[in-house]
Amino acid sequence: MPTRHTPRLVLASASPRRRALLELVGWVFEVVPAAEAEGPPLDGESPVQYARRSAEAKAVAVSREAPDAVVLGADTVVAIDETSLGKPADAADACRMLAALAGRSHWVHTGVSAARAGEVLGSEVASTQVFFRALSSDEIEAYVATGEPLDKAGAYGIQGRGAALVERIEGCYSNVVGLPLSRTRELLIAVDERINAGNGDGQC
Amino acid sequence: MPTRHTPRLVLASASPRRRALLELVGWVFEVVPAAEAEGPPLDGESPVQYARRSAEAKAVAVSREAPDAVVLGADTVVAIDETSLGKPADAADACRMLAALAGRSHWVHTGVSAARAGEVLGSEVASTQVFFRALSSDEIEAYVATGEPLDKAGAYGIQGRGAALVERIEGCYSNVVGLPLSRTRELLIAVDERINAGNGDGQC
């Protein structure tokens, strides 16, 4: 029998939400946050393409610092009419974003990428449609005043008070929080198989 | 102008999850748990009918003890092929439930009812479709060993480790946790309007 070799796993994200989600997948991992965020989307780059590229960039950057590890990078993008919404610049910007999201649906895309020694081993993008209820300007201002929207892409957190804005979703919930659990698990299994196929005795 | 009168609100549930969700709706409330749970579904009663009846029974029972309050009752039912799954009797029962849910979709219905002085003011049932990924018997046993499934209808908690079993959902997420936020908010607004229409000067 070939000896299976599962390399150590590193999460390239400072987000406590991603960390808590990855713990649910059941793999042991360390956290080494990527040094800096990606810039804005490139000209003509769709939100899905941007989420993938940004996740890959984070995973590759950290994998150069930890060459023996499999490094997982992730990036979550809120998209409305194919425009990516980042984190709001200030409270007024958060109010504008929430007014744009109210009473309609938008998409949340999370790119997840695994890299080793500077090379991408595999990437996934999970997409969830989120339907906001109608919101009054008073409700938007009260939510922004809680401070929750200010550090979140699209100016809301579905796992916090923002839950009260959401009528329904179609797709993976943990993807909206920041890491799609099923897709991440599948990616890690595929990467593990690939590493062991390379290390094995050729039977697979 | 008529004087608006918003009576005190009571949540007829001991569930800390429901309490945390209702806090997100933003109404001030007290907790007075209903004395006992409903029995099993009646012959020919669908899971949706059962969720509604059980929520109404809890709200009405507590409203008799607090006749000046609006009392909110809720009951969450996990349904597979129109069969209601309650809380598992023991670990073996939890394993059987999870094996039945694995690799397919099921429905979660939460009935929400508002009552005052022994009478139902309004009721809603929210329904969400939940898609589980395929699960090995090792995964099921490991999850049951955490103890999380034992006090939960359908033997899983989507807000805990059970999140790792769920591939996607269609509908309201908080409904699967135990209280559908948007529908509950709409119900409370409708009840408040109705109470104030009755108390007002007849202009509406």
Pick A163's closest partner by Cβ from B24, B166, B168. Answer: B24
Domain span at residue B129 reads 9-199
Average pLDDT over all residues of chain B: 91
Q: For chain A, what percent of residues have pLDDT higher than 70?
A: 93
Q: Which of residues B40 and A165 earns the better pLDDT score?
A: A165
pLDDT for residue A203 is more than 80: no
Query: Would you call B19 exposed, middle or buried from its count of C-beta atoms within 10 A (0-12, 13-18, 19+)?
Result: middle
Query: What's the rounded mean pLDDT across residues B116-130?
Result: 97
pLDDT for residue A200 is more than 60: no
A170 touches chain B (CB under 8 A): yes
pLDDT for residue B201 is more than 80: no
> DSSP secondary structure string, chain B?
-PPP----EEE----HHHHHHHHHHT---EE---SS---SPPTT--HHHHHHHHHHHHHHHHHHHSTTSEEEEEEEEEEETTEEE-S-SSHHHHHHHHHHHTTSEEEEEEEEEEEETTEEEEEEEEEEEEEEPP--HHHHHHHHHTSGGGGSGGG--TTTGGGGGEEEEEE-HHHHHT--HHHHHHHHHHHHHHHHHHHS-S--
Number of domains in chain B: 1
* Residue B23 resides in a domain: yes
> Could you tell me which residues come within 8 angstroms of residue B157 by beta carbon, excluding any fewer than 6 positions away?
B148, B149
* Residue A89 resides in a domain: yes
Q: Which chain B residues have a beta carbon less than 8 Å from that of A126?
A: none
Reduce the DSSP state of residue A10 to 3 states and report it: strand
* Residue A68 resides in a domain: yes
Chain B: residue whose CA lies nearest to A158:
B173
* Residue B119 resides in a domain: yes
* Residue B72 resides in a domain: yes
Query: What's the rounded mean pLDDT across residues B127-146?
Result: 97
* Residue A1 resides in a domain: no
* Residue A3 resides in a domain: no
Query: What's the rounded mean pLDDT across residues A77-92?
Result: 93
Contact A203, A2 (CB under 8 A): yes
**Beta carbons of A169 and B164 less than 8 Å apart:** no
**Which pLDDT value is given to residue A75?**
93
pLDDT for residue B47 is more than 70: yes
B68 touches chain A (CB under 8 A): no
* Residue A120 resides in a domain: yes
Pick B168's closest partner by Cβ from A21, A163, A172. Answer: A172
Here the CATH number for the domain that contains residue B149 is: 3.90.950.10
| Whole-prediction pTM | 0.87
pLDDT for residue B203 is more than 70: no
Query: What's the rounded mean pLDDT across residues B49-74?
Result: 95
**Which pLDDT value is given to residue A204?**
37
Q: How far is CA B99 from the centre of its chain?
A: 23
**Which pLDDT value is given to residue A4?**
65
- B43 is an active site residue: no
Average pLDDT over all residues of chain A: 91
